[in-house]
Structure 1
Amino acid sequence: MTINLEMVSDVVCPWCWLGLRRVTSAIEIFGAEKIDFRMRPFQLDASIPSQGVDYKEYMKNKFGDTSKDNKWVQMRQHLEAAGEAENIPFRFEDIPIRPNTFNAHRIIRWAQGQSVDGKSLGPRAAEALFHAYFKRHKDIGDTKILLNIAEQVGLIPEVVEKLFNEDADIKPLQDEEAFYRNLGVSGVPTFIANGKYAIQGAQEVTSLVTFLEQVEAGPPDM
């Protein structure tokens, strides 16, 4: 039985990069041939303008003075430690822009429709976007940067540029995000298996493997 596994995430969510790394490892342990893995869109803040906003100012408005020992400082320290274990070099102090991520999700959606060796390019596109934002501190709301990322993951830049200038995918992407919100997804990452079972958060690899084993076994073990 093939398990349809969806990861609902946003590409500016550090927990989501951890989640992607961990679920990728879990899939390899469980058996990649038994999983159809797909990325699904979720904007943590769709109100951000297309040109983005200053990152430090945005985080200050959200969490308060980030120079003090507040919730964000504690979370950042925890993330940096967790990132080291997954070879993720979080350096939040150097991020200049908090972008609007809608166009980044469009890249993932287009990549999702392409495959290599039977595997969708969607997860590869998400990984490239996480890397660009958190490691290289690129503005992943910028069209030129997104075109470069698209080319890196195997998409044709000229085709992607043409798609950006059209709007045929905008409503379907908005509807897709709304679908997961209506399912009750309010935080990311959220993993949904076979449209029935869900687990939320950047779970440890062992927990994700157990989740997949329980889905495979089916009721009443779930």
Structure 2
Amino acid sequence: MKVDIWSDTRCPFCFIGKRNFEKALQKFSQNDKVVVNWHSFQLDPNMKTDLSKNHYEYLSEVKGFPMAQIMQMHENLIQSGKNAGIDFNFDEVKVSNSFKSQMLVQFAKEKGKADEMEELLFEAYFKLGKDIDDVEVLSEIGEKMGFSKDEIAKSLQSKELSELVNNDITEASNLGIRGVPFFVFNQKYAISGAQPTHLFSEVLEKSWTEFSENDSKLKIIEEGDSCDVEGNC
């Protein structure tokens, strides 16, 4: 059984959704028969990396809200993160374009290590305040996974990997995906947003027992907290 996940490495709900899904997958009796396929997505392809601003300052500027209001708006998000075992450090999060990091995910995907790469990129961005648009930072992350600096450097210059990122983004658009995380189970059932673990468990079971090749229309089971292309999180 295949689960396709569209995610942006700078999306906090994608980090939460990953953790909640993985908890459900761990409990699933047929988890050894599930293939997780990560797909690239960019919430803001035109974002320019700006290390002079943190996450709160950037959103305050983009949305036109006072800093205090932006920080208050994040209280529930921070608590949701804690519930998933994540300590978000938004004061240190750097404004970084995510395209290069998506190329690194595609590289790791070819090596069968996309799950681990996603986790390390999320941690670097949301917990350690790293610039995930920086080649040196991405090289350090790659080296933690056993890749060489030369491998990482080549991957970040690869036209093929760049095309894979863009192909994923195009596929998401064709499916009508405008927010992430977005989970598709066996090309039939979909979950939008960082849903609780029990819902992922229910859909895993449903997909395993009810999948019908004669019914290929995508059905969204639930829509929840996510980040969208309009800049709403």
TM-score range, shorter chain: 0.7 to 0.9
TM-superposed CA distance for 1:73, in Å, is 3.4
Counterpart in the other structure of 1:138: 130
TM-superposed CA distance for 1:98, in Å, is 1.2
d(CA) in 1 for partners of 2:42, 2:13: 14
d(CA) in 2 for partners of 1:60, 1:67: 6
Counterpart in the other structure of 2:76: 78
TM-superposed CA distance for 1:50, in Å, is 5.3
Counterpart in the other structure of 1:60: 60
Please give the residue correspondences for 1:98-137 in structure 2 after superposition, counting only pairs within 5 Å: 98-114=95-111, 120-137=112-129
Amino acid at match of 1:103: K
Please give the residue correspondences for 1:154-165 in structure 2 after superposition, counting only pairs within 5 Å: 154-165=146-157
TM-superposed CA distance for 1:182, in Å, is 1.3
Runs of 5+ unmatched residues, structure 1: 115-119
Preserved CA contact (<8 Å) 1:51 1:142: no
d(CA) in 2 for partners of 1:163, 1:153: 14
Amino acid at match of 2:84: E
Per-residue CA deviation, residues 92-116 of structure 1 (Å, 9 max, x unaligned), is: 1222x211100100111111111xx
Q: TM-score, normalised by structure 2?
A: 0.84
1:5 to 1:179, Cα distance in 2 relative to 1, 3 A: same
Preserved CA contact (<8 Å) 1:51 1:141: no
1:59 to 1:195, Cα distance in 2 relative to 1, 3 A: same
d(CA) in 1 for partners of 2:184, 2:66: 33
Counterpart in the other structure of 1:23: 21
Question: Are 1:48 and 2:51 an aligned pair?
Answer: no
Counterpart in the other structure of 2:200: 208
d(CA) in 1 for partners of 2:193, 2:15: 11
Runs of 5+ unmatched residues, structure 2: 213-218, 220-233
Give 4+ residue runs of structure 1 displaced > 3 Å after superposition: 50-53, 72-75
Counterpart in the other structure of 1:167: 159
Aligned residue for 1:169, secondary structure, equals helix
1:90 to 1:50, Cα distance in 2 relative to 1, 3 A: closer
1:154 to 1:162, Cα distance in 2 relative to 1, 3 A: same
Deviates more, 1:10-19 or 1:165-174: 165-174
Counterpart in the other structure of 2:227: none
Amino acid at match of 1:38: N
Aligned residue for 1:5, secondary structure, equals strand
Preserved CA contact (<8 Å) 1:22 1:203: yes
d(CA) in 2 for partners of 1:188, 1:124: 19
Name which of 174, 191, 198 aligns with 2:190: 198
1:195 to 1:178, Cα distance in 2 relative to 1, 3 A: same
